[in-house]
Amino acid sequence: MAVETRSCSDILVNGVPVTTEAATLAALVAELGHGDARVATARNGDFVPARVRGATQLAPGDRIEIVSPRHGG
């Protein structure tokens, strides 16, 4: 797959400002080292299924959530 060359985007990942070269949500997830870990994602408040991350383009200002299982009541 051809890697698109593009400028960096300033986005928020889990509420923290991040500058990334990733063009897609899938690339971002890989860049952050989640690889094959069981995480779920949302972009600007909407759920993004794992299979759609590769087709989900990132844009400056995006709010990304990357979550994983935790203790809960």
Partner 1 sequence: MNVIEPHAKPQKPFALYGVDLASRLLLGTAQYPSPDVLARAVEASGASIVTVALRREQARGRKGERFLELIEATGARVLPNTAGCRTAKEAITTAHMAREVFGTDWVKLEVIANDDTLQPEVFGLVEAAAALTQDGFKVLPYTTEDLSIAERLLAVGCEVLMPWGSPIGSGRGLANRYALQSLRAYFPGVPLIIDAGIGAPSHAADAMEMGYDAVLINTAVAKAGAPVPMAAAFAQAIEAGREAFEAGLMGVRDMASPSTPVAGTPFFDLPPPANKPGND
Which residue lies nearer to partner 1 by CB, 4 or 31?
A: 31
Which residue lies nearer to partner 1 by CB, 3 or 16?
A: 16
Task: Say how far residue 4 (Cα) sits from the centre of its chain.
Answer: 16
- Minimum CB–partner distance for residue 8 and partner 1 (Å): 16
Which residue lies nearer to partner 1 by CB, 1 or 35?
A: 35
- Minimum CB–partner distance for residue 1 and partner 1 (Å): 23
Query: Which positions touch partner 1 (CB under 8 A)?
Result: 13-15, 32-34, 37-42, 45-47, 49-50, 65-73
Contacts 24+ apart (CB under 8 A), 37-44: 37/68, 38/68, 38/69, 39/66, 39/67, 39/68, 40/66, 40/67, 40/68, 41/65, 41/66, 41/67, 42/67
